Amino acid sequence: MAKRENVPVSVIIQKILGESKKPNSTYEIAKKANLSWSTVNIHSYKLKDQGIIDCKLEVAEVGSGKKMLWFLKKGGN
């Protein structure tokens, strides 16, 4: 079994968003980080409250689908 580092979730989310050229949905971040959707969702809102990341709501043109897209704020970490 590989040893897993104890890295804070907020650091993982910032790293993923920093390496991405486009905003990522909560689901995409969770998949990349191998974390649950709810964990990423909670920590993303905490980072938003701290002014480190921001989000925008994307609504699908067809159907009732919508998702939150997260991105680093300019001047953020």
Which distant-in-sequence residues (6+ apart) come within 8 Å of 59 by Cβ?
65, 66
Entry pTM: 0.85
Number of DSSP helices (H) and strands (E) in the chain, helices first: 3, 3
**3-class secondary-structure state, position 26:** helix
Mean pLDDT of 55-68: 87
The conformational region for residue 75 under phi > 0 = left, psi -120 to 50 = alpha, else beta, is left
pLDDT-based confidence at 64, cuts 50/70/90?
confident
Tens-place pLDDT, residues 22-51: 999 999 999 999 999 999 999 999 999 999
Task: Answer whether residue 77 is part of any domain.
Answer: no
Amino acid at 55: C
Domain contains 48: yes
Q: Is the pLDDT at 3 greater than 70, yes or no?
A: no
Residue 1 pLDDT: 46
Angle of the 26-33 helix axis to the 9-19 helix axis, nearest 10: 110
Any domain includes 35: yes
Write out the two tokens for 46.
Answer: 């905490």
Is residue 64, in this structure, part of any structural domain at all?
Answer: yes
Could you give the number of structural domains in the chain? 1
